[in-house]
């Protein structure tokens, strides 16, 4: 079944939070594989260190987040990767794409523990659910948001990152299901999240 962000509807009238994995969720495959992903956009001159590395390729969602229900929600990331590290051009591009006015009020990035920003990197696969509470607390402390567990929406290309959310009360969805990277045994997405 194809899951896209356009098909998810926020049911609550309260604050909501959309959290995205970075590698192969907000980004697509680098190198020649990106040509298979017609809705992705290559950002020449910006390096992406994920997997084999190469030129940054943005998924459809990272280009058009304003066309999803997440444009009404606070925004965060939780990634196993580093988004090419502190001060990288990749982090700058991702922030600018996600910074829907008023819904990502920081440019600071955080390690997995302790969480000091809604832009979290370095969380090992299978443990990302543990960082969500820190992001929710950050928004409560810094902007007064009140985000219920049921109003948190997490998106990742890897099944092993979605399954641990089952008992948390948070919503978690695997994306990039129809485009998988055979070079990695189809364990990861190819094109990333779609609108």
Show Cβ contacts of residue 38 under 8 Å, excluding neighbours closer than 6 positions: none
Q: Per mean pLDDT, which range of 28-37, 110-119, 152-161 is the poorest?
A: 28-37
* Model confidence band, residue 185 (pLDDT cutoffs 50, 70, 90): confident
More confident position, 4 or 105: 105
Q: Over 70: is that where the pLDDT of 79 sits? A: yes
User: pLDDT tens digits for 160-182?
Assistant: 999 999 999 999 999 987 888 77
Q: What per-residue confidence (pLDDT) applies to 52?
A: 87
Please answer whether residues 176 and 25 qualify as being in contact, where contact means their C-beta atoms are separated by less than 8 angstroms.
yes
pLDDT digits (tens, 9 = 90+) for 107-120: 999 999 999 999 99
**pLDDT at 8 > cutoff 50:** no
At residue 13, the pLDDT reads 56
Please work out, in degrees rounded to the nearest 5, the angle formed at the alpha carbon of residue 86 by the alpha carbons of 80 and 92.
95
Mean pLDDT of the chain: 90
- Distance between start and end Cα atoms, the chain: 15
Cα-flanking dihedrals φ and ψ of residue 60, to 5°? -60, -40
What band does 31 get if pLDDT is binned at 50, 70 and 90? Answer: confident
pLDDT for res 3: 42
What percent of the chain shows pLDDT beyond 70?
Answer: 92
DSSP β-ladder status, 41-48 and 119-120: unpaired
Rounded to an integer, the average pLDDT of 172-195 is 85
The mean pLDDT value for 20-37 works out to: 87
Using the CB atoms, write b or e for 79-89: b if 16+ within 10 Å: bbbbbbeeebe
């Amino acid at each position: 079944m194809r899951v896209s962000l356009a098909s998810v509807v926020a049911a609550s009238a309260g604050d909501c939070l959309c959290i995205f994995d970075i590698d192969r969720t907000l980004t697509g495959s680098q190198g020649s594989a990106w040509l298979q992903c017609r809705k992705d956009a290559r950002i020449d001159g910006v390096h992406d260190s994920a997997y084999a590395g190469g030129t940054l390729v943005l998924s459809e969602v990272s280009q058009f987040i304003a066309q999803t229900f997440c444009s009404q929600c606070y925004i965060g990331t939780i990634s196993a990767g580093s988004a090419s590290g502190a001060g990288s051009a990749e982090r700058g591009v991702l922030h600018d794409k996600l910074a829907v006015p008023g819904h990502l009020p920081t440019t600071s990035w955080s390690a997995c523990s302790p969480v000091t920003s809604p832009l979290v990197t370095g969380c090992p696969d299978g443990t990302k659910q543990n960082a969500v509470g820190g992001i929710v607390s950050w928004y409560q402390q810094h902007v007064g948001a009140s985000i219920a567990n049921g109003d948190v929406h997490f998106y990742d290309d890897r099944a092993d990152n979605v399954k641990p959310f089952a008992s948390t009360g948070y919503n978690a969805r695997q994306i990039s299901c129809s485009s998988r990277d055979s070079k990695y045994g189809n364990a990861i997405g190819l094109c990333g999240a779609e609108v």
